[in-house]
Every structure is written in C-alpha cells, then in structure tokens.
A = this chain, B = another copy of it.
C-alpha cells in the first residue's frame, strides 16, 4: 500500500509524523537491515538452507569426478576458502562410482549435478550425497523423475530443482522477457507440483540466466510465487574480471531485497575465485561478518596533496598479512577524511606536507608525509592485535 501512495500524501504523512514523534523513530520502522523473504528450511546434510539460517556459499569442482583424489583435494581447498556446500558433475557411471569415497572424505556436504540420466541420480543417492541438483526438464520420463523423488525421500536427500534459461524448451532468441519469465515460472510450478504430489518437500529452487536483468526478474518472480529456499547465481558469467561486476549487480539487487538463501558465483577459472567474490558480495552487504581487512580509499580529486592511490596500494600490502576485520581509511583531504576516520579502526587523512593519523576516530598523531607509512604500519599492527 505504502508504495502506491502519492508522494504528496507521503509527504503529509511524514510532516504529521515529525510533529508527533521524532522522525527517526518513524523511519526506523521502514528502513532496516535486510529482512529475508520467508522460506521453508531444507537440510543438506548438517547444513540448513532457508530464511531461518545464514546464507550459504556453494561452488563446484572442476576436475573429472571419476578422479576421486583430485576432487577431494579441490573440495578441501574450496572448504578452506569458505565454501559450505560443493557440487560435482556426474555425467558417467565412473563419476558416480567415485562419489562414495568423495562423500566420506569431504568436510562439507556434496551435491551431485544431474543431467539427462535418472540412473546417475539414483547412483549418487546410493553413494550418500546430501543433495542432488536436478533439471527435471532433461530427464526423459515422468516415471524416472518419480523414481528419483522416491529414492531421495527414502535417503533423506534434498533436491534442488534447477532450471536454466538456456535449457527451457520453447525459448528462442526472440522470446520477450515477460514470456520467458512466465515460461520459467510455469515449468517450475509444474515440477514443484509433481514433487509435492509425491510427498517430497526437501526442495531448493533455482532459475538461472546469463543475463543480469533476467536473473533478477526470474528470482523475484520465483521468490514471490514459492516459499522454498532459493539458490541464486548468474550463470556462465565468464572469466573472473568479466564476471565480478554483473554477478555483484545481480546478487546485490536480489540479496538486498531479502531474496536468496544460498548462492554460487559462476566463474570460468579457479573455483576459489568464486568463493572470494561470493564472500565479498555477502560481506559488503553486511550479510556476513567481515573476517579480512577493509580498505576505504578516497578516489582523490583536485584537492589531493599527495599520491593517495600509491599510498593506498602500499597499505593494501600491509593489510594482506592481517587476517582480521580491520577497517582502514586512506583519505586525501579534510573534506570527508575526519568522517571516514570516525568509522575506521585506523585512518590517515593527508594534507599538505603532513598527515593526521587516527585510531577509532581519535586523532592520535600528526606526521610528515614520509612518516605516514611507518606510522600506519605501527597503528595497523597494534589495532589488529586488539581485535
């Protein structure tokens, strides 16, 4: 209702509110931290997915699943980087044959990625995976899908119904966006009904596209229409330097609206890079506590008296060795410097021939330009020790 009110009415409402109660109390009702869209909870081994639980980060192994040792090594690297659920493709029987060993050695729940073959799904469930990812659209018969549902139910295995825009039937290059969303929703609804009719509700949903706006629209639609947990991702986003911006734009849009319960960043490259970007998106939105330092740096302008960028890069090198959520600000002038310093653990605010050093918002030293770096090193080390 509020969104449909005219701005004049809103203005009047607000004027009244200012008279009656302090503005910030009124506004605090409307502008709060991200409120997750409510979903059911699904168990993926010991990991829970759904709005009552923290958003989890997933990735996928990029070696042949039949090579269990290589897969296990990659899973351990991913888990160490922060991956919480890992998926493995199982196109052949040799791949599912390796799953048992992989599952028992993996520190995180393993998901089998199924396409085309119901046999692979049944073998994966038998091998003990915690979840399978299924695109029911590419399983040949309904009875095969039902056999997978029954096996998953008997083994307490979750199923992600994962449809990709690229694999939706009836879509052509000319299909307009509205029609695409409608077709994806229709397909999703028919799958969900099939699962529910067979008494299965350990369902996670995903509908991916390689287009940012399509990803946002489809997921808003899915979130509005179904209350199963939602797995987000921009698919086929490209090599890391191409993938970061569109992925962050798509996921930023959805997560900031409370949409999304688990996510996978898709990067053509090292899967650890997927975890890094995913983690950056979650921490920058305040969804996940930061564990590494954050470097606030002013972009510099005609006011800057020293080379702020060079200084910021040197301080970045110092911070690379500190694995604590220290907030450090490098500012080029006094316009926003003191303000950013107030929000930082350590800050430097550079003027002409001298700079002010701050700790937790308090100016603690005035140093010459050549003393900035050693002073910052000292303060960063000391501040990190106290965290």
A contact set with B: CB distance below 8 Å: 1-4, 7, 10-11, 14, 22-24, 27-28, 30-34, 60-66, 71, 87-91, 95, 113, 115-116, 138, 164-168, 171-173, 177-179, 181-183, 185-186, 210-213, 216-217, 220-221, 224-225, 227, 235-239, 242, 244-253, 255-257, 266-269, 271, 274, 277, 280-281, 284-286, 295-304, 308-309, 312-313, 316, 329-331, 333, 335-340, 342-343, 360-361
Contacts and interface: CB of A to CB of B under 8 A. Distances in A.
Nearest to A337: B166
A337 B66 CA distance: 22
Contacts of A339: 164-168, 171
10 contacts: A3-B3, A88-B301, A210-B329, A212-B252, A213-B285, A245-B245, A248-B249, A248-B252, A268-B298, A268-B330
A194 to B, nearest CB: 16
B61 A281 contact: no
Contacts of A212: 252, 284-286
Contact of A166 (B165, B242, B295, B343): B343
Contacts of A4: 1-2
Copies of this chain, whole number: 2
A336 B167 contact: yes
A89 B236 contact: no
Contact of A312 (B268, B338, B360): B268
A284 B245 contact: yes
A240 to B, nearest CB: 10
Contacts of A239: 295, 297, 309, 312-313, 316
Given A89-B303, A246-B280, A298-B268, A213 B286 contact: yes
A185 B23 contact: yes
Contact of A299 (B7, B63, B268): B268
A10 B224 CA distance: 8
B316 A14 contact: no
Kindly name the residue among A90, A221, A252, A271 whose own CB sees the greatest number of chain B CB atoms within 10 A. Answer: A252
Nearest to A227: B7
Given A1-B4, A244-B244, A256-B216, A32 B171 contact: no
Nearest to A138: B335
B217 A31 contact: yes
A302 to B, nearest CB: 4
A368 to B, nearest CB: 21
Contacts of A61: 301-302
A28 B181 CA distance: 8
A220 B32 CA distance: 11
A11 B89 contact: no
Nearest to A248: B248
Contact of A210 (B95, B210, B277, B340): B340
A330 B238 CA distance: 9
A256 B300 CA distance: 28
Contacts of A217: 31
Contact of A342 (B166, B246, B304): B166
A88 B303 CA distance: 9
A213 B34 contact: yes
Nearest to A287: B213
A316 B266 CA distance: 17
Given A62-B301, A224-B7, A303-B89, A340 B236 contact: yes
Kindly name the residue among A22, A138, A236, A295 whose own CB sees the greatest number of chain B CB atoms within 10 A. Answer: A236
Contact of A268 (B34, B308, B340): B308
B177 A33 contact: yes
Contact of A27 (B173, B185, B238, B284): B185
A179 B309 CA distance: 33
